[in-house]
Structure 1
Amino acid sequence: MNKHTKTKINSGKEEGEIASVFNRRLFLRSAGLATSLGTIVIAAACNDDDDDPMIPGTGDAVDLGSGDIGVLNYAYALEQLEAAFYIQVVQTPYSGMTDAEKAILTDIRDHEIVHREFFKAALGDKAIKGLTPNFAAIDFTKRDAVLGAAKLFEDTGVAAYNGAGKLIKDANYLLLAGKIVSVEARHAAVIRDLISPKTASFAGDDIIDANGMDKAVAPADILSAVKGYVKDTITGANVGK
């Protein structure tokens, strides 16, 4: 693996600073979850020597769990993958990346870090470990490769949240998922527009059905689709049960 494909899910000081600028207590309160999930505390900074639980694991088997905890861990796993991807994209910009493109991709990175840290803190000691990404198949030096991967991750993320919605039993968690999937859909739209500007691709018929609805895909199918991008073996057989 070359320098363009190496990444850690936690990239250190800059990432910690991004996470720390958001008021997590306000986020929880706005979603009606402050009491049930408690106060979120994010370290403002760390370095490579820190004993940080977000340092990638070793490619072990990971069981997401059952019930709503399983659904939240499922979302947490996907947010880890997306955050790691965009961290790498911003750290090693592809050839010819414009200032406008970098600004968009940096904003998406920041959102994904916040989503990841939110789920980590909400789950507490029930959270799965930090996963080990596998981006060896992505050439981070090439625009088409990066945006193509971004399109895959964003479309998959939207379909994953939609598919998991019916499995969530707690109405507060469902509200939270709805708030996050709407942001993921915005990401998906802008990535598609970067690939094919000034076209209708942002809501193409490959993702929107005849009724104007987005796809909803079951966790088992999503995990199968993304397994090539994660070294860990993720088991989600009991998600939502």
Structure 2
Amino acid sequence: MNQYKRNGRRDFLLTGFTAGVAGITFLACNKDDDDPANKPPEGSIDLGKGDTGILNYAFALEQLEAAFYMQVIASPFTGMTADERMLLMDIRDHEIAHRDFFKMALGTNAVPMLETDFSVVDFSNRDSVLSTAKTFEDLGVSAYNGAAQLIQNADYLMLAGKIVSVEARHAALIRDLISNGTFADGTAVNSDGLDLVNDPLTVLAAAAPFLKSKIWAGNLPNS
């Protein structure tokens, strides 16, 4: 598929996604009041508080995933098949659409674009790429699951539900690319048949090795 068609499809994904949650941009543009008693460490990026902070948290994770898959496609691992490339390009396009949506919805409340660090990933090696993809996708699913209970605005909760279902599809695909039939094994789904859940601090600690930017979540809601 040529680049024009790919870009057109990516634009279509973003347009449809935006139309599906009309009004969220306006809601997200209300700035949080500054809290002088709770300031981030110097040089770190404050995600903010309340629902805006949760949206920025999601925006940060989508930035990380989008940057990773962009690099995967820009420098394909040795032996990447045409089918693998097509599937990984689809995931890349989804993550870019998610990232761009959050940036647009947050407006002036959006955190800056983050600096990533993928030095621990060997992009020429299939196992290294897919194991990192598995980490990101599993982390993304657990992050949205953990953040859902912290969201106050029903529109944002609906948005999280739409995205986490896509991230779960990615996670299932990556797991099957690594080992067919493992898409819902015990490391992804618990004994009650539910996806795993992680709170923002746990997720951000796991993401930190892949980021040069320092993220501070001290103002995020925790209950």
Same fold (TM over 0.5): yes
| Residues 201, 217 of structure 2: 8 Å contact kept | yes
Paired residue secondary structure (1:203): coil
Task: Confirm whether residue 63 of structure 1 aligns to residue 46 of structure 2.
Answer: yes
Output the aligned Cα RMSD.
2.0
Per-residue deviation, residues 61-93 of structure 1 (Å, max 9, x unmatched): 111000000000000000000000000000000
| Residues 141, 164 of structure 2: 8 Å contact kept | yes
Q: TM-score, normalised by structure 1?
A: 0.80
Aligned counterpart, 2:40: none
Task: Confirm whether residue 181 of structure 1 aligns to residue 170 of structure 2.
Answer: no
CA distance in 2 between counterparts of 1:61 and 1:186 reads 32
CA distance in 2 between counterparts of 1:205 and 1:157 reads 17
**Distance change in 2, residues 1:205/1:131 (3 Å):** same
CA distance in 2 between counterparts of 1:36 and 1:151 reads 30
State the shift of 1:239 in Å: 1.5
Deviating above 6 A after TM superposition, structure 1's stretches of 4 or more consecutive aligned residues are none
Structure 1 alignment gaps of length 5 or more: 1-12, 39-59
Q: 2:23 aligns with which of 32, 35, 60?
A: 35
Aligned counterpart, 2:35: none
State the shift of 1:26 in Å: 4.2
Paired residue secondary structure (1:22): helix
Aligned counterpart, 1:230: 211
State the shift of 1:24 in Å: 4.5
Letter in 2 for 1:218: D
After TM superposition, list the pairs within 5 Å mapping 1:1-241 onto structure 2.
17=7, 21-22=11-12, 24=14, 26-31=16-21, 34-37=22-25, 60-197=43-180, 199=181, 201-240=182-221
Structure 2 alignment gaps of length 5 or more: 27-42
Per-residue deviation, residues 86-140 of structure 1 (Å, max 9, x unmatched): 0000000000000000000000000000000000000000000000000000000
**Distance change in 2, residues 1:202/1:228 (3 Å):** same
CA distance in 1 between counterparts of 2:50 and 2:15 reads 25
Paired residue secondary structure (1:128): coil
| Residues 14, 98 of structure 2: 8 Å contact kept | no
Per-residue deviation, residues 212-237 of structure 1 (Å, max 9, x unmatched): 00011000000011100000110012
| Residues 62, 98 of structure 2: 8 Å contact kept | yes
CA distance in 2 between counterparts of 1:107 and 1:23 reads 11
State the shift of 1:210 in Å: 0.7
Paired residue secondary structure (2:194): coil
State the shift of 1:19 in Å: 7.9
Aligned counterpart, 1:42: none
State the shift of 1:25 in Å: 5.2
Q: TM-score, normalised by structure 2?
A: 0.86
Paired residue secondary structure (1:220): helix
**Distance change in 2, residues 1:61/1:191 (3 Å):** same
CA distance in 2 between counterparts of 1:192 and 1:26 reads 28
State the shift of 1:164 in Å: 0.3
CA distance in 1 between counterparts of 2:15 and 2:80 reads 36
State the shift of 1:35 in Å: 2.8
**Distance change in 2, residues 1:164/1:18 (3 Å):** farther
CA distance in 2 between counterparts of 1:25 and 1:144 reads 34
- Percent identity for Structure 1 against Structure 2: 50
Paired residue secondary structure (2:93): helix
